[in-house]
Chains A and B, each alone.
Chain A
Amino acid sequence: MKLEARGVKKDFARGGNSGSVLEAVKPLDFSLESGELVEITGRSGSGKSTLLSMMAGMLVPTGGSICIDDTDIYSMKEEERSRLRNDRIGLVPQGHTALRSLTVLENVMLPFVLYHRETPPEDRAKELLQKVGLFDMKDERPNALSGGELRRMAVARALLMKPEVLLADEPTAGLDDENVELVMELLRSAADEGASVLLVTHENEARKYADRVFNMDGGRLCSN
């Protein structure tokens, strides 16, 4: 599956009455192929998370298009785009995104229950928790987990539906070296199994796992 950004840009209106806009992402072209792991680095505020949100179908671009296999995802109805995200895109958002009323295991199984009435794939969820080193905490509530553990849980959750595209925003933030390795190996193996993996980060630890590395600065994407 090919995920492509064509001339995509994003402006945000600045506060106040000046009417000026912030160009968070300047028009750019970018593509992500099956089986590759691409890393976008950049400082905070460089526009990399905005680009990732647009590619995930979560943030409507100001201009240009985001295409999956030549279909503009923003031309789809909201329900179709959501369903596409559930079926084919795994997203690791920034920060903590666990539902605090559910256990760690239930949080990981959550993407499945949104559209399926069958029994959730508990074995796969446990296997993923094992891979991210959280199996022993599967019955804990999220408030018992550290920030790094919550990030790992989010990675496991994003992988549950065996996505064709995996988009990860700072997946290794707050992790120690050992766990960075663990998560990156997991993302790499997802790419090796055929997924298109894009991760944005302002850290350099992931570089050795990436097929291509880009840098983003002031809303512009540059190849490294």
Chain B
Amino acid sequence: MLSLKNLPRKNLQGYAGRTAALLLFSMLMAAAVFGGSMIVGGVLRGLSEAEARLGADIVVTPAEANSRFDAQTVLLQTEPGYFYMDKGKLAEVAAVEGVERATPQRYMASAKAGCCSMRLQMIAFDPETDFVIGPWLKDSSLSEMGLMDVVIGSNVTVYNDNVIQFYDRECRIIGQFEPTGTTLDNCVYMNFETVNELINASFEKRLNLYERYNPEDVISSVMVRTASGYDTERVAADIRARVSGVSVATAKNMVSGISDGLKRISRSITLTAVMLWVIGLFAVMLIFVMMIHERKREFAALAAMGADRDVISGIVGREAMTVCLAGGAAGIFLSAVLLYSFGGFIGHSLGAGMVVPSPATAMLLAGFSLGSSLLAAKAASMAAVRYICKTDAGLVLKEGE
């Protein structure tokens, strides 16, 4: 049934080409706003997760590892790596004044070979002194790890239930961590006994660069917690001065390095989203006014039938709102599908850790994006109504065809 309420929808259907163009630009605008804000939100959430997971104030690694280990990008690097130093470094680091706790970690990488389920970074910790990974286990309500028990990062996909294989040794998966958006999500966590087994297995298969080492005599890093009242930078400087052959990075520097990069990325994404929105807005306004110009005789005819400015504004406003909201909803949906499907890939492409925001945040951002679509609809309808008001309906009708 014909009514003033469904007239705008019918009008939009009557001008399918222009309506499709309007839908496309509205979709692009909403996708830019929603996608952009989701990515920025995801990147910031990733940073905060990474900060929380880092857990240590200072990270000490072998100096010779510098070519394969960059403290500023360790949370983002994609290629698994491993390096070792004498375990005696732990005692040296622990002896430095201002070091409250020091715990070793031992790294290993699985091989791109049939003996391993997939290429992954392995991180082993010492349960007796650990203060970094233990709290994650506790937060995730996971039990203590035994020999050949592992916990996997959120990005690690396992096809064989609860079992993952490295160097032909099967490990039992006892849990999986929540995502951080960093390479910590691509790691497998285990205790020292397990990693020793795996390192020895890699020696047997001649798939380890460090065959001269006894795994029990080496560590990859020392994670340090600074005692309260001590300045972390000064403690780090002391470690540098007193312990030879090591590279020392503070968590603050590691995170600020990432943080600066992420802020740059976030700024670029925000700027791109704003630019796309503004370009979209101009396009929507232009197409909408062109559509109204094309239909100026129709609007003059409506005026001849007795439609006043409010009625005409209402028709135009509802047309703009219908097309912008429909396009906006489609843009948000498309953007959400892409983000939830390829969030990890997008994060890697940007060189940033990214955790897709929670559904509640996503809903909030979707509402904000729809709000921006409504704003565009309002602007387009105002421009169109202004054009109609400037046009004298009497003269338009008098012009004939």
Contact = CB atoms under 8 A, between A and B. Distances in A.
Given A95-B400, A117-B3, A78 B309 contact: yes
Contacts of B360: none
A172 interface: no
Nearest to B16: A101
Interface stretch (A31-39, A84-92, A128-136, A189-197): A84-92
Interface centre among B10, B297, B305 (most CB of A within 10 A): B305
A122 B401 CA distance: 29
A14 interface: no
A87 to B, nearest CB: 7
Given A101-B14, A120-B2, A94 B307 contact: no
A169 B396 CA distance: 13
Contact of B297 (A59, A91, A95, A111): A95
Contacts of B310: 79
Interface stretch (B51-59, B187-195, B387-395): B387-395
Nearest to B310: A79
Nearest to A80: B308
Interface of A: 49-50, 53-54, 56, 58-60, 78-79, 82-87, 89, 91, 93-102, 106, 109-111, 113-115, 117, 119-120, 157, 169
B91 interface: no
Contact of B307 (A86, A93, A119, A169): A86
29 contacts: A49-B398, A50-B398, A53-B394, A54-B394, A56-B304, A56-B394, A58-B304, A82-B303, A82-B309, A86-B305, A86-B306, A86-B307, A93-B304, A93-B397, A94-B397, A94-B400, A96-B401, A97-B300, A97-B304, A99-B301, A102-B2, A102-B7, A106-B10, A109-B2, A111-B306, A114-B305, A114-B307, A117-B3, A120-B3
B340 interface: no
Interface string B279-322: 00000000000000000011011111111111100000000000
A8 to B, nearest CB: 13
Contacts of A106: 2, 10
Contact of B14 (A49, A95, A99): A99
Interface string B1-32: 11110010011111100000000000000000
A113 B4 contact: yes
Please name the 7 residue pairs, one residue from A and one from B, whose CB atoms are nearest each other, closest first. A101-B14, A86-B306, A59-B394, A97-B301, A82-B308, A58-B394, A93-B397
* Interface majority SS (helix, strand, loop, mixed), chain B: helix
A95 B309 contact: no
A113 B400 CA distance: 25
Contacts of B302: 99, 110, 114
Nearest to B299: A99
Given A102-B2, A117-B3, A94 B398 contact: yes
A79 B1 CA distance: 26
Contacts of B15: 101
A96 B301 CA distance: 9
Contacts of A89: 306
Given A59-B394, A99-B298, A114-B311, A85 B304 contact: yes
B305 A110 contact: yes
Nearest to A97: B301
A111 B305 contact: yes
Contacts of A110: 2, 302, 305
B4 A101 contact: no
Contact of A97 (B308, B309, B397): B397
A150 to B, nearest CB: 10
Contacts of A94: 397-400
Contacts of B399: 94-95
